[in-house]
Amino acid sequence: MSFGKGCNLHLIDGSAFIFRAFHALPPLTRKSDGLPVGAVQGFCDMLRRYVGTDHGDFAPTHLAVIFDKGSHTFRNDLYDLYKANRDEMPEDLRPQIPLTRRATEAFNIACKEVEGFEADDIIATLARQAREAGGEVTIVSSDKDLMQLVGDGVVMFDAMKNRRIDRDGVFEKFGVYPERVVDVQALAGDSVDNVPGAPGIGVKTAALLLNEFGSLDELLDRAGEIKQPKRRETLIAYRDQIELSKRLVLLDDRTPLDFTLDDLEIRDPDPDTLLGFLAEMEFRSLSRRIAETLGTEAPTIPETAPAAAAAGAPGSTEDAPPFDGTAYACIRDLATLERWIAEARDQGFVALDTETTGLNEMTAELVGVSLATAPGRAAYLPLAHRAAGDGDLFDDGALLPDQVAREDALAALKPLLEDRSVLKIGQNMKYDAKILARCGIDVAPFDDTMLMSYALHGGEHGHGMDTLSERYLAHRPIPIKEVIGSGKTQVTFDRVPIDAATTYAAEDADVTLRLWRLFRPQLHRAQVTRVYETMERPLVPVLADMERAGIKVDRDTLSRMSNAFSQKMAALEAEIHALAGETFNVGSPKQLGEILFDRMGLDGGKKGKTGAYATGADILEDLATEHELPARVLDWRQISKLKSTYTDALQEHINRETGRVHTCYSIAGANTGRLASTEPNLQNIPVRTEEGRRIREAFVAEPGRVLVSLDYSQIELRILAHVAGIETLKQAFRDGQDIHAMTASEMFGVPMAEMTPEIRRQAKAINFGVIYGISGFGLARNLRIPRGDAQGFIDRYFERFPGIRDYMDATVAFAKAHGRVETLFGRRIHTPEIDAKGPRAGFARRAAINAPIQGSAADIIRRAMVRMPPAIDGMPARMLLQVHDELLFEVAEDAVDALVATAREVMEGAADPVVRLDVPLVVEAGAGPNWAAAH
DNA sequence: GACATCACG
DNA sequence: GACGTACGTGATGTCC
């Protein structure tokens, strides 16, 4: 039937159905794997009831469910804050969205969406078309944004209240008829969608004004005639904003559609399809009810044992076969490779692992790739294995036969690895992604079992493959040492015989796939899906790009400094030997201790464990007030540290090809969510002393560029003020006050105007102490004051800020009750030692107090880093380094201001919209030719 | 490879 | 009443 007179088109607002279903029903998960499905069930039930309802004269002849698609629409181009105040979707709702589309299709109801348009615009367009064709329209929604469409054969229907809304219904709601609804909305604004409107004008006033003046244009043109001075001024001052608001609320009824009204004709569902879907979702009573309506038998849904029983229990891997190293395939020709690729493509996911000649992704060469498609079903693709060549000059270095040519293999793999519909699964995917990026392959989309484990089990154990396999699969993978050897006899992987390599490499892919099957459903159950999807996984490509970019380090600068340090050290060493009266190794704490405490007889104690004297900087500093020798040793140590760890070692890390230093960030290394930087560690480059800071002069920008540093000011104290809810501190941050001086003033009763540096320094130490889980002993040692005095400070601090003690007690209690603490963003940090006895209890307690603060700060900068590349896309700038609360960029000289503005906005807004901080985040920026100047 | 030391946030 | 303490990292050199 062609759409026309006598037809009635029903348009269901899909999002409204989903959100109603989600909020109306308690959380429900699918038994077999823990997938959240409550909203899907509610959605299906609402569709069932809607289709089953007798709509009388308004019975549908055509029906569609309309969804939003894409988060960016023309409204965002008009106004970048449009819907900016929306909370992120709840994490257990997100995976259900695609399922509601499948549900709609299972009901055989047309399911429509258009990229970049809101459902409301599509509804407006279809309503117009239907009206023009002479038919009638029922919009199934109670959203006021759709009320502008009512009238002239179009009504709305509130499915929850079973109530029809016509022109009079709209008038009831807005005080105007539908044709003036947008005018009211333009004036009143909308806090839900963040439409600004005119300040101080609500729906009532707007309707009043419009009824007086007739239309919005008229009203704005004649605003001067308004009697109330406040309203008059507002309308004149905010004219632009009001007109913008109108463009935001006005629906676009000319959305391009790739279907016609005729495509929406109502269809009966296919019982097998619909019941099959409901069975897959494991909706028992709903499928019984629907089967009854359809006059068929409901399928039996097996009672599967909850996966929770299997999850986490070592050895239990559902239906997976045991590990068998002899069962793995070796891919020797292109045809075989194509078969594996087809298999991966068919099922939509594949585990992946690369083998290379070394651990450094910047220099390592690809040797082979392994794939796994099911537990126990894995293959190794050797690409660059060479003869072992111990002594045999003729075979040495020759490529072994029967290997697929590297270029052919990569050309075959590239479409698979870049296919948006095939999920690639890896363990530490950043490594593989970097190797493959050098081969011109951009792996996406992917999952990473290491990061899944980090989100699930952070704090419980490490997240390396061997640990995870032993713990969760009860299987000890072949140690790499058994394949490549160790020490002098160690070889690179390309020298490993292909048979041995196959057993080892395919096993890694197999282990990865099995871990993924285990972890994937657990993410939802542990409610860490959002953590994983927003703060772990998307960081992988961001960090990979930063690491590949590297930072330019000037070898000559380092080399000159190194020489100067050598001379200084030699002089100091001579001086020290003279003072000691004998020569000894100044770098040996053991020998130094014997000189100081045995030969010279100074005061100082032994440390229990090894019986050696402690000669740390704090002890030497105490001794240095009386004696020359420890003072010179301190000088020597500082120089020695700078030379060995920085000026010398750093030069070794300059990449031959790029002339830059490429660090490697571990995403899952630190318990709190912080990153860690290795080989070299670029997060501990000196800055605190003048001498050390000069090392940073060697970190430079390319010609025509500068380094730009942006760092969060006092981020951890701000988070503390927020989580502990300390109003005085929060207000001080809002007012931009000196927080340490403010603390000192509050504690010691000193007016801010009379603050001395010494009092401020003490308050600063206390503030830091609080973040670390303060103890009288620790503060006493840090401030070098008697323990009783330190305890007095702490007591006074808690007296003044009782909320902080409450926060600490609550955090420790939470840790004891749950075995973990959480950051503001839901990252879980497990605290297995919290019930320990003895000194370990104290450590665990302090770590538990610190973790949510340090971890929330880490989450915030992670979020900023994930949002940074799209934000600065197109600018002549790249992000190079992260140092916990600082991001370092290399930027074209003329783009510094633009970069700073954009990056600052991203960083300061990084908590939004998941967490509304009660304190502002403040970012300080600097720029210069080198890191010392930028910081 | 454990330990002490010290660089950073 | 005694534990023995600031939180989180990584790299280096010594010594066993």
Strand B–CB A684 distance below 7 A: yes
Strand B–CB A612 distance below 7 A: yes
Of A406, A927, A430, A486, nearest in space to A666 by CA:
A430
A201 shares a domain with A157 = yes
A519 shares a domain with A643 = no
Which positions in strand C are less than 7 Å from the protein's CB atoms?
A: 3-16
What's the CA A832/C1' B4 distance, rounded, in angstroms? 27
Nucleotide C7, nearest residue via CA and C1': A772
Q: List CB contacts of A763: < 8 A, sequence separation 6 or more.
A: A740, A741, A743, A744, A747, A748
Worst-scoring range by mean pLDDT, A503-517, A764-778, A886-900? Answer: A764-778
Query: Which nt is closest to the CA of A614, judged by C1'?
Result: B4
CA–centroid distance for A111 within its chain? 31
Query: Which nt is closest to the CA of A692, judged by C1'?
Result: B7
The CATH number covering residue A569 comes to 1.20.1060.10
Q: To which H or E segment does residue A699 belong? A: strand A699-700
Nucleotide B5, nearest residue via CA and C1': A616
Q: List CB contacts of A556: < 8 A, sequence separation 6 or more.
A: none
Q: How many CA atoms lie within 13 A of A623 on its CB side?
A: 25
Nucleotide B2, nearest residue via CA and C1': A610
Which tokens sit at A452?
Answer: 């899944």
What's the CA A772/C1' C8 distance, rounded, in angstroms? 10
What's the CA A669/C1' C7 distance, rounded, in angstroms? 16
CA dihedral A903, A905, A908, A914 (to 10 degrees): -110
CA distance A866 to A820: 26
Around Cβ A459, how many Cβ atoms within 10 Å? Answer: 19
What's the CA A786/C1' C11 distance, rounded, in angstroms? 34
CA distance A886 to A907: 10
Q: Rounded to whole angstroms, what are the CA distances from A197 to A73, A81, A82, A363? A: 19, 13, 12, 57
What's the CA A257/C1' C8 distance, rounded, in angstroms? 54
Q: Which of A661, A691, A723 is the last residue of a domain?
A: A661
| Region class of A152: left (phi > 0), else alpha (psi between -120 and 50), else beta | left
Per-residue pLDDT, averaged over A647-674, amounts to 96
Confidence of residue A271 (pLDDT cuts 50, 70, 90): confident
Q: To which H or E segment does residue A447 belong? A: strand A446-448
Q: Rounded to whole angstroms, what are the CA distances from A743 to A496, A771, A776? A: 63, 14, 18
CA distance A330 to A504: 11
Please work out, in degrees rounded to the nearest 5, the angle formed at the alpha carbon of residue A525 by the alpha carbons of A524 and A531: 45
Nucleotide C16, nearest residue via CA and C1': A610
Of A322, A271, A311, A263, nearest in space to A295 by CA:
A271
Please work out, in degrees rounded to the nearest 5, the angle formed at the alpha carbon of residue A674 by the alpha carbons of A558 and A313: 135
- Is A866 domain-assigned? no
Q: Which of A661, A690, A718 is the last residue of a domain?
A: A661
Amino acid identity of residue A609, one-letter, is: K
Strand B–CB A614 distance below 7 A: yes
Strand B–CB A685 distance below 7 A: yes
- Is A599 domain-assigned? yes
CA distance A355 to A480: 11
- Is A635 domain-assigned? yes
The pLDDT score that the predictor gives to residue A52 is 86
Strand B–CB A609 distance below 7 A: yes
Q: In chain A, how many domains are there?
A: 4
What's the CA A699/C1' B9 distance, rounded, in angstroms? 19
What's the CA A846/C1' B5 distance, rounded, in angstroms? 23
Predicted confidence (pLDDT) per residue in A856-888, tens digit: 999 999 999 999 999 999 999 999 999 999 999
| Burial degree of A581 (CB within 10 A; 0-12, 13-18, 19+) | exposed
- Is A927 domain-assigned? no
Predicted confidence (pLDDT) per residue in A516-571, tens digit: 999 998 998 888 999 999 999 999 999 999 999 999 999 999 999 999 999 999 99
Q: List CB contacts of A209: < 8 A, sequence separation 6 or more.
A: A187, A201, A219, A226, A231
A462 shares a domain with A414 = yes
What's the CA A573/C1' C16 distance, rounded, in angstroms? 26
Of A287, A185, A197, nearest in space to A234 by CA:
A197
The pLDDT score that the predictor gives to residue A396 is 64
Query: Which nt is closest to the CA of A771, judged by C1'?
Result: C7
Around Cβ A83, how many Cβ atoms within 10 Å? Answer: 18
What's the CA A641/C1' B8 distance, rounded, in angstroms? 13
Which positions in strand B are less than 7 Å from the protein's CB atoms?
A: 3-9
Strand B–CB A615 distance below 7 A: yes
The pLDDT score that the predictor gives to residue A603 is 81
Q: What three-state secondary structure class fits A751?
A: coil
A159 shares a domain with A82 = yes
A556 shares a domain with A518 = no
Residues 879-898 of A with CB under 7 A from strand B: 883-886
Which tokens sit at A130?
Answer: 């239907």
- Is A905 domain-assigned? no
Confidence of residue A755 (pLDDT cuts 50, 70, 90): very high
Nucleotide B4, nearest residue via CA and C1': A589
A112 shares a domain with A167 = yes
A375 shares a domain with A295 = no
The CATH number covering residue A466 comes to 3.30.420.10
What's the CA A839/C1' C6 distance, rounded, in angstroms? 13
Nucleotide C12, nearest residue via CA and C1': A645
CA distance A498 to A385: 7
- Is A191 domain-assigned? yes
Is the model's pLDDT at A593 over the cut of 50?
A: yes
Instruction: Look up the pTM and report it.
Output: 0.72
What's the CA A839/C1' C1 distance, rounded, in angstroms? 15
Is the model's pLDDT at A394 over the cut of 70?
A: no
What's the CA A598/C1' B8 distance, rounded, in angstroms? 34
The pLDDT score that the predictor gives to residue A311 is 41
Is the model's pLDDT at A828 over the cut of 50?
A: yes
What's the CA A591/C1' B1 distance, rounded, in angstroms? 21
Q: What is the 3-state secondary structure (H, E, C) of A584-648?
A: CCCCCHHHHHHHHHHHCCCCCCECCCCCCECCCHHHHHHHHCCCHHHHHHHHHHHHHHHHHHHHH
A588 shares a domain with A487 = no
Query: Which nt is closest to the CA of A769, judged by C1'?
Result: C6
Confidence of residue A297 (pLDDT cuts 50, 70, 90): confident
What's the CA A784/C1' C5 distance, rounded, in angstroms? 15
User: What b-and-e string marks burial along A184-198, b requiring 16 or more CB atoms within 10 Å of the CB?
Assistant: bbbbbbbeebebbbb
Per-residue pLDDT, averaged over A349-356, amounts to 97
Q: List CB contacts of A489: < 8 A, sequence separation 6 or more.
A: none
Q: Which of A599, A627, A661 is the last residue of a domain?
A: A661
Confidence of residue A309 (pLDDT cuts 50, 70, 90): very low
Nucleotide C10, nearest residue via CA and C1': A681
A164 shares a domain with A97 = yes
Q: What three-state secondary structure class fits A63?
A: strand
Residues 567-606 of A with CB under 7 A from strand B: 589, 593
Nucleotide C5, nearest residue via CA and C1': A778
SS3 content of chain A, % helix, strand, coil (to 5): 50, 15, 35
Q: In what order do the strands lie in the sheet with A660-661?
A: A660-661, A551-553, A699-700
| Region class of A819: left (phi > 0), else alpha (psi between -120 and 50), else beta | left
What's the CA A641/C1' B5 distance, rounded, in angstroms? 9
A520 shares a domain with A581 = no
Confidence of residue A318 (pLDDT cuts 50, 70, 90): low
The parent domain of residue A474 ranges over 329-526
A235 shares a domain with A102 = yes
A408 shares a domain with A503 = yes
Q: What three-state secondary structure class fits A756?
A: coil
The pLDDT score that the predictor gives to residue A559 is 96
- Is A45 domain-assigned? yes
Nucleotide B3, nearest residue via CA and C1': A610
Nucleotide C9, nearest residue via CA and C1': A676
- Is A762 domain-assigned? no
Worst-scoring range by mean pLDDT, A83-92, A674-683, A805-814, A830-839? Answer: A83-92
